[in-house]
Amino acid sequence: MAGISSNKEPLRIGLIGCGFMGRAHSNAYNRVANFFDLPYKPQLKAVCSRNEADTRAFAETWGYESIETDWRALVDRDDVDAVDICVPNNLHSEIAAAVAAAGKMVLCEKPLAMNVAEGEAMCRAVEEAGVPNMVWYNYRRVPAVMLASQLIQEGKLGQIFHYRANFLQDWTIAKDLPQGGRALWRLDAAEAGSGVTGDLLAHCIDTALWLNGAIRDVSAMTATFVKQRMHQATGLVEAVGIDDACAFLCRFDNGSLGVFESTRYARGHKALFTLEINGEHASLRWDLHDLHRLQYFSHEDEGRLRGWRSIHVTEHDGSHPYMDKWWVPGLQIGYEHTFVHQVADFIEGLATGRPAAPTFRDALQTQRVCGAVLRSAGSDSWVQVSE
Ligand code: SOE
């Protein structure tokens, strides 16, 4: 690989939130300039969360120069160019509006917002301020998924008939798992907005909209299997307001049919994100547990040899997205690299003026589908995905 120039402008990052996603993004900021030759290099200026000792420890581990314990102080700093929001969903919109008003770039963890109205307000805030913005739907940047997108764009599948996606987990089956607060805010509707729909299905929907275009209408069902859990903030047993599982049917604008399923109650599955697309000439299948492989079946292959191919997406000659930046052919990369790719694309977007997707506006469309799914489940009826 050609050498990487050391002459780079700093992109001064302020991170809000020290959880799992704060770690994933910090890792990406630290690594991107070692592997991608870009005009800007992330400089970890400040990290913010409410607990001072935890924030200091996080800053030391990941290399942040300083800490804040009030997100407003971080947003107001003159030495921060871009603010990364990695806190529970109920805080996204207020922080994003403040970041935009301060004229800073904003990167926001998925889902964009608690609901469509908040998402629309966030889009208006960043667009009126004219600040670069992006939402972290990282699975688009798995090389095998990006390759799938290229094959579809090239017309290799022809007309698309079916789109199928699952995201299955099993970590909330225990009835004594509390809701709310640290690590468990995803179980609290007041902090998360929804359950698996906004958390896991949102990934499936983002990828589907990108690969297969707009979704017209949906018919969904949800279930909340554990109806009460102790809330960590109050110590009281409170009603659970999130969806534990959600499945929906949909129709895409291109005429294809979609089937989506997501749950945190699929015993044995930890993070099984799979997608399959069936077209007129070919089909594609991808599985997060085997993320460097793309399964491909082409009806145009010679009959004797026709069958599913398992493409090991590690070529270095430019044929496999991103892979020329990493090791040597045959050596694979993993989950954390998807975030490195997303930072690289964000920086590239700053340099070229072509914003990296998904922007807030792109992610609003996923929010709209999630909203329609929840409305459909609540009303037991087909619901249009409105613009
Ligand atoms: C939930 O367990 C979770 O961490 C999601 O919030 C992430 O977005 C997903 O990538 C993995 O699972």
CATH number, domain with residue 225: 3.30.360.10
If one counts the domains in the chain, the total is 2
Residue 249 identity (one-letter amino acid): L
Ligand 1 atom index nearest CA of 203: 8
**303 domain residue, yes or no:** yes
**Ligand 1 atom 11: the closest Cα is on which residue?**
271
- Same domain flag for 26 and 126: yes
Out of 138, 168, 187, pick the residue that ends a domain.
Answer: 138
Q: Which domain holds residue 314?
A: 140-379
386 lies in some domain: no
Q: Same domain for 175 and 271?
A: yes
Residue 384: inside a domain, yes or no?
no
Distance (Å, whole) CA 201 – CA 244: 11
Domain membership of residue 385 (yes or no) is no
Say whether both 129 and 148 belong to one domain: no
Same structural domain, 16 and 64: yes
What strand order describes the sheet that includes 257-263?
309-312, 293-298, 282-287, 272-279, 160-168, 257-263, 245-252, 215-223, 383-384
Q: Is residue 1 included in any domain, yes or no?
A: no
Has residue 70 been placed in a domain?
yes
Residue to probe by mutation, ligand 1, list 89, 135, 200, 272, most atoms within 8 Å of CB: 200
What per-residue confidence (pLDDT) applies to 1? 41
Domain shared by 134 and 77, yes or no: yes
pLDDT attached to residue 5: 74
Q: What is the CATH number of the domain that holds 28?
A: 3.40.50.720
Q: Which residues of 249-263 are buried (b: 16+ CB within 10 A; e: fewer)?
A: ebbbeeebebebbbb
Asked if 310 and 188 sit in the same domain, the reply is yes
pLDDT in single tens digits along all 387 residues of the chain? 446 777 789 999 999 999 999 999 999 999 999 999 999 999 999 999 999 999 999 999 999 999 999 999 999 999 999 999 999 999 999 999 999 999 999 999 999 999 999 999 999 999 999 999 999 999 999 999 999 999 999 999 999 999 999 999 999 999 999 999 888 999 999 999 999 999 999 999 999 999 999 999 999 999 999 999 999 999 999 999 999 999 999 999 999 999 999 999 999 999 999 999 999 999 999 999 999 999 999 999 999 999 999 999 999 999 999 999 999 999 999 999 999 999 999 999 999 999 999 999 999 999 999 999 999 999 999 999 986
Cα 119 to averaged position of ligand 1 atoms, centre (Å): 20
Substitution candidate for ligand 1 out of 199, 243, 244, 337 with most atoms within 8 A of CB: 199
Say if 281 falls within a structural domain: yes
Indicate whether 173 and 118 sit together in one domain.
no
Helices within 49-159 (DSSP H only)? 52-62, 71-76, 92-101, 116-129, 143-153
> Rounded to two decimals, what is the model's pTM?
0.97
| CA-264 nearest atom, ligand 1 | 2
* Residue of 310, 279, 294 whose CA lies nearest to 163: 279
Q: Choose the final residue of a domain: 138, 166, 185.
A: 138
Task: Clarify whether residues 273 and 248 are in a common domain.
Answer: yes
Ligand 1-lining residues (CB < 6 angstroms) = 169, 199, 271
> Which pLDDT belongs to residue 3?
63
Asked if residue 297 and residue 164 are part of one domain, the reply reads yes
Give yes or no: residues 211 and 100 share one domain. Answer: no
- Residue 149 CA to chain centroid, in angstroms? 16
Among 138, 166, 188, the domain boundary falls at 138
- How many whole angstroms from 110 Cα to the centroid of ligand 1? 9
CB atoms within 10 A of CB 190: 17
Per the domain annotation, does 181 fall within a domain? yes
CA of 111 to the centre of ligand 1 (A): 11
CB 144 within 8 A of CB 312: no
Percentages (nearest 5) of helix, strand, coil residues in the chain: 40, 25, 35
pLDDT digit string (tens) for 46-93?
Answer: 999 999 999 999 999 999 999 999 999 999 999 999 999 999 999 999
Give 190 Cα–ligand 1 centroid separation in angstroms: 18
Specify the ligand 1 atom closest to the Cα of 202.
8
Q: Whose CA is nearest to atom 9 of ligand 1?
A: 200
The Å distance, Cα 185 to ligand 1 centre, comes to 12
Do 243 and 342 sit in the same domain of this protein?
A: yes
Cα three-residue angle 138-141-146, rounded to 5 degrees: 140
What is residue 265's DSSP assignment? -
Both 145 and 238 in a single domain?
Answer: yes
The residues near 248 (Cβ < 8 Å, ≥ 6 apart) are: 201, 218, 219, 220, 221, 258, 259, 260, 373, 376, 377
